[in-house]
Chains A and B, each alone.
Chain A
Amino acid sequence: MSAEDLGRLLRGLAPQVLGALLRRYHDFDSCEDALQEAMLAATIQWPVDGVPDNARAWLVTVASRRVIDQIRSERARRDRETSSASRELPDALVAPGPDERVPRDHDDTLTLLFMCCHPALTPASQVALTLRAVGGLTTAEVAGAFLVPEATMGPRISRAKQRIRAAGTALSTPEGPAYVERLGAVLHVLYLIFNEGYTASSGPDLQRPDLATEAVRLTRAIHRSLPDDGEVAGLLALMLLTDARRAARTDAEGGLIPLAEQDRTRWDSDMVQEGARLVTDAMLRSPLGPYQLQAAIASLHVQAPRAADTDWPQIRFLYQVLCRIAPSPMATLNHAIAVAMTDGPDAGLAMLSALAADDRMARHHRLTATRAHLLELAGDTAAAREDYLLASRLTTSLPEQRYLRTRADRLTETDPTS
């Protein structure tokens, strides 16, 4: 087994082992330390002795011993301090025997994800803790992924752990409506991780961990645990159908290429097929949800052989449903684009003016950029140019700003009145 294969195997097992340890011993920090030591032991022993038949149980046993040693020495220290007689170890401190019933492997990954997405945490802390505990990234790697120093990320992760500890019932999986809500939080965190990676993947920082790939890996793990959940499948499909376009969406200089102008031969056809299959299957078998709808829309976009072949009436319909079941300004914005593509730019622009009344959107560069695009389609070059320039001032992304200025300049060149 190559070092790379071993690394991949261990990274897949890590959250399951950590979940199993936490179920028994509760203390996040000692469980994490013990896991690190067990993984280190595995990287030394397995290449020599071979991978044990039940690699996960091996790691749990080795790590459990380590946690128990730590608790024992901690207790001995306390006993020395208090001069009290030594006590019996409770059952919880005994390492599990090989015949002990263990739940299905992936359930532990899921339990750990549920814990990391505890409602006591902010989304940014949920993201950081998920990458650290479930993704198995080091604090330095998580910090690198978000381009902040380790000295900033370290306290963020520590505080997240403290909050979870303070909240008590960390590892109990919620039931009923709370379960649905928590699963929603987990999917949202994975979506945030994916987006962070997706927007960053063209950046100059090649050392950053690939968060988009990491998000896909974790979402796959939940999909294996919950194969019948349509929204989990929908999110996985959405990620695959979006990531499939990665190679085509920036040019050699890192400039953004809009969907309609991308070289479709550079899209990853395996990812497109897998994503399309996942979402079609999910929509047939389970109740409709926002991730499935967004995946279905992404699927229609990538299955058109040319931009001109895009099935806009169908996309328009799906956005209409999305706006009904999960209303958001972004959904309305995209709906307006689809309306413009089916009924003409004026119909789309009318929807945008309603959206501009929304405070959250009025000064949003996406709204202004979309209006610029629709004005350009409508032939109102001067107004389109103004809006491209306004959007370029509102965005906080350098490549977006470059793109929007280029669009504005293009209109200056062709504008006969200037």
Chain B
Amino acid sequence: MKFLLNAYAASAVTVARSEAERDAVVDHADFVAAARESGELIGGGVLADSSTGVLVRAREGRTTVADGPHLDSPVRLAACYLVDCEDRDRAVGLAATVLAAHYDAVEVRPVMLAAGMEM
């Protein structure tokens, strides 16, 4: 099953906390190495600061591009990884090894399948 692991970091962390904690927000090297070696990592990475993002919208046939961030939220998406693993429990286990989990949250979202069972 495929899951998206969304690692969120409080926006305050990068300015207010210690050097070590700031590094931890972006250092997922151990997770990436382990998940790649186990054949579970499909892709993903650490995201640039949300102020560098833009929002693209299509309205009435016109495409507009606006500066981000999308939501004025105290937490921001700091990294996301797509993994393919055994089940939800395993995905949760992988999420726990994404370092941001220690002081923020990693959201585990199943990816929808294009196939279904007979109902």
Binding site for B on A (CB under 8 A): 122-125, 128, 146-149, 152-159, 199-205, 245, 249, 256, 258-259, 369, 395-401, 403-404
Contacts and interface: CB of A to CB of B under 8 A. Distances in A.
Interface string B81-119: 000111000000000000000000000001111111111
A398 B39 contact: no
Given A124-B86, A396-B110, A156 B115 contact: no
18 contacts: A148-B2, A148-B42, A149-B42, A155-B39, A159-B39, A199-B116, A200-B115, A202-B115, A203-B114, A245-B118, A249-B118, A396-B1, A396-B113, A397-B113, A398-B113, A399-B115, A400-B117, A400-B119
Nearest to A200: B115
A86 to B, nearest CB: 38
B119 A258 contact: yes
B41 A152 contact: yes
Interface in B10-42: 36-42
Interface in B48-71: none
B54 to A, nearest CB: 28
Contacts of B117: 199, 256, 397, 400
A204 B114 contact: yes
B59 to A, nearest CB: 26
Contact of A199 (B41, B43, B84, B115): B115
A35 B17 CA distance: 58
Contact of B118 (A124, A128, A256): A256
Contacts of A401: 112
Q: Give 9 closest A-B pairs by Cβ, nearest first.
A: A156-B39, A399-B116, A397-B116, A400-B116, A155-B39, A199-B115, A396-B110, A200-B115, A397-B113
Contacts of B118: 245, 249, 256, 258-259
B43 to A, nearest CB: 8
- Bin chain B's interface residue count: 20 to 34
Contacts of A199: 113, 115-117
Given A201-B115, A256-B118, 5 more contacts: A122-B86, A153-B39, A158-B39, A400-B116, A404-B119
B35 to A, nearest CB: 9
B119 A256 contact: yes
A124 B37 contact: no
Contacts, number: 81
Q: Is the interface of A mostly helix, strand, loop or mixed?
A: helix
A237 to B, nearest CB: 17
Given A249-B118, A256-B118, A256-B119, A155 B113 contact: no
A63 to B, nearest CB: 27
A367 to B, nearest CB: 13
A158 B38 CA distance: 9
Contact of A148 (B84, B113, B114, B115): B84
A396 B112 contact: yes
Contacts of B1: 396
B39 A154 contact: yes
Contacts of A249: 118
Given A149-B42, A152-B39, A256 B86 contact: no
B38 A155 contact: yes
Counting chain B CB atoms within 10 Å of each CB, the highest count among A122, A157, A204 belongs to A122
Contacts of A159: 37-39
B116 A256 contact: yes
A123 B86 CA distance: 8
Given A124-B86, A148-B84, A397 B37 contact: no
A155 B37 contact: yes
Contacts of B112: 396-398, 401
B29 to A, nearest CB: 16
Contacts of A149: 42-43
Given A152-B40, A157-B39, A146 B84 contact: yes
A155 B115 contact: no
B1 to A, nearest CB: 7
A303 B19 CA distance: 70
Contacts of A400: 116-117, 119
Contacts of B43: 149
A191 to B, nearest CB: 14
Contacts of B39: 125, 128, 152-159
A202 B117 CA distance: 10
A200 B119 CA distance: 15
A404 B117 CA distance: 12
A250 to B, nearest CB: 9
A152 B85 CA distance: 11
Contacts of B41: 152
Given A152-B41, A155-B37, A124 B85 contact: yes
B118 to A, nearest CB: 5
Contacts of B40: 152, 156
A369 B38 contact: no
